[in-house]
Amino acid sequence: MNAMANSRRTVAVITGANAGIGYALAERLLKKSSKIHLCLACRNKARAEEAADKLKQKFPDADVDIVLLDTSSVASVHRAAAELRNRYDHIDYLYLNAGMMKVTGVDWGYFWRGLFSSRVFYMFATGEGLLVHEDEVTDDGLQGVFETNLFGHYVLVKELEDRLGSSASDRYNRSQLIWTSSSNATRKNFSMEDLQHEHGKDPYSSSKFAMDILSVGLNDSMNKRNVYSHVVCPGLVMTNLTYGILPAWFWTLIMPFICLLRIFVPGMTYSAPNGAEALVWLSTQDPVSLDPQVKYQSFCGVTGHSYVNQEKMSIGVDEGQELIKKLDEIDESLQKKCSKN
């Protein structure tokens, strides 16, 4: 880890760290170095404490604490950021991982047609068009998937700006923002005119594509301050998110099929530690040498070994700037609303 050589401790904050990929990431980071200080940023206190206790049992020397953060509430994000600013003078790794999707069904007709078409492997790798989604409106009046997956995280980054990077070009002052995006992110599901995806049918894909654009925009504006941003796809991982689509017993039943499918679709990582591969790998890299236009994917071989694949994206820096401007506008209007109340 690049910040390790310095005498001060290395701090990693992980959002959505109590379960799934976030929890597996926490375990893998501690396995790599028990000297890292981990902060689990979670929305539920009991679940966060349970995860922290489990980690401390496995790694008795580990330094693990929690902060309460609900990315679907700007007030909660502000409170969490204030707490994090209080506790740490520098954050080395900020993993923006919390996320959700609300699926009401699978389009099985589309699945069967896809199975016997040339898009079969692409369909398994991305899940594009297979799921029927719904969304909700948060107490902030924003679309739930947009606020949870993207906007809440953007506000968190903004609020933590003075704890990220540094204008001194010392490599130990670098910070990495690592976003858990998805191969499901598709340009055709995203519109700058409908950022929150109020009028579309795939809010998850839209929020993840917006994440890819945002990461490019943040590199443009923050690299000079030694802050580097990258996106990851963990692959298809069995977590509460996938159990919300089909029941756990079904996924367990088809596990041999999924493992075999890895011959053609290596993104079938299946287990959360495998899915965390690219997230862990990024923390070992010199961020200056990384390409902001690449999505780092966790892949898995048939024998079960995980590795990192790089997929080139095609996102304009101007798109990144435009998105940041629009997110700032939403942030300002929410702040105005809050100050009136």
Ligand X SMILES: CC(C)CCC[C@@H](C)[C@H]1CC[C@H]2C3=CC[C@H]4[C@H](C)C(=O)CC[C@]4(C)[C@H]3CC[C@]12C
Ligand Y SMILES: NC(=O)C1=CN([C@@H]2O[C@H](COP(=O)(O)OP(=O)(O)OC[C@H]3O[C@@H](n4cnc5c(N)ncnc54)[C@H](OP(=O)(O)O)[C@@H]3O)[C@@H](O)[C@H]2O)C=CC1
Q: Shortest approach of ligand X to residue 89 CB, angstroms? A: 34
Tell me how far apart the alpha carbons of residues 217 and 292 are, in angstroms, rounded to a whole number.
9
What is the total count of residues that contact ligand X (CB under 6 A)?
A: 15
What mask, x for binding ligand X by CB under 6 A, covers residues 182 to 221?
Answer: xxx-------------------------------------
Q: Shortest approach of ligand X to residue 266 CB, angstroms? A: 13
Strand partners, 11: 37
Which residues neighbour 82 within 8 Å (Cβ) at sequence distance 6 or greater?
A: 159
Q: Shortest approach of ligand Y to residue 308 CB, angstroms? A: 15
- Long-range contact list for 52-58, CB < 8 A, 24+ apart? 55/26, 55/27, 55/30, 58/27, 58/30
Residues 126-145 that bind ligand X (CB under 6 A): 126-127, 130-131
Active-site position among 93, 204, 228, 296: 204
What mask, x for binding ligand Y by CB under 6 A, covers residues 139 to 178?
Answer: ---------x------------------------------
Residues 236-255 that bind ligand X (CB under 6 A): 236, 245-246, 254
Q: Which of 180, 205, 219, 229 binds ligand Y (CB under 6 A)?
A: 180
Q: Shortest approach of ligand Y to residue 240 CB, angstroms? A: 3
SS3 track for 39-75: EEEECCHHHHHHHHHHHHHHCCCCEEEEEECCCCCHH
Q: Which of 3, 19, 26, 280 binds ligand Y (CB under 6 A)?
A: 19
DSSP string for 185-245: --GGG--GGGTT-SSSS-HHHHHHHHHHHHHHHHHHHHGGGTEEEEEEE--SB-SHHHHTT
Q: Nearer Cβ to ligand X, position 48 or 238? A: 238
Residues 42-101 that bind ligand Y (CB under 6 A): 42-44, 47, 69-72, 97-100
Residue 20 interacts, among ligand X, ligand Y, none and using kind-specific CB cut-offs from 5 to 8 Å, with: ligand Y
Q: Is 38 helix (H, G, I), strand (E, B) or coil?
A: strand
Note the Cα 90 to chain centre separation in Å. 20
Residue 111 interacts, among ligand Y, ligand X, none and using kind-specific CB cut-offs from 5 to 8 Å, with: ligand X
Q: Is 204 a catalytic residue?
A: yes
Residue 126 interacts, among ligand Y, ligand X, none and using kind-specific CB cut-offs from 5 to 8 Å, with: ligand X
Give the interface segment with ligand X, choosing from 71-79, 124-132, 165-173, 284-292 (CB under 6 A). Answer: 124-132
Residue 225 interacts, among ligand Y, ligand X, none and using kind-specific CB cut-offs from 5 to 8 Å, with: none
Q: Shortest approach of ligand Y to residue 60 CB, angstroms? A: 24
22 near ligand Y, judged by CB under 6 A:
yes
Tell me how far apart the alpha carbons of residues 90 and 98 are, in angstroms, rounded to a whole number.
21
Tell me how far apart the alpha carbons of residues 123 and 106 are, in angstroms, rounded to a whole number.
13
Tell me how far apart the alpha carbons of residues 14 and 75 are, in angstroms, rounded to a whole number.
19
Phi-psi sector, 249: left (phi>0), alpha (psi -120 to 50), beta: alpha
Pull the structure tokens for residue 172.
């130990």
Taking alpha carbons only, the member of 257, 254, 259 closest to residue 302 is 259
Tell me how far apart the alpha carbons of residues 259 and 270 are, in angstroms, rounded to a whole number.
8
Q: Shortest approach of ligand X to residue 176 CB, angstroms? A: 21
Q: Which is it for the CA torsion 338, 181, 130, 189, positive or negative?
A: positive
Instruction: Return residues touching ligand X (CB under 6 A).
Output: 106, 111, 124, 126-127, 130-131, 182-184, 233, 236, 245-246, 254
Instruction: Return residues touching ligand Y (CB under 6 A).
Output: 15-16, 18-22, 42-44, 47, 69-72, 97-100, 148, 180, 182, 233-234, 236-237, 239-242
Active-site residue set: 204
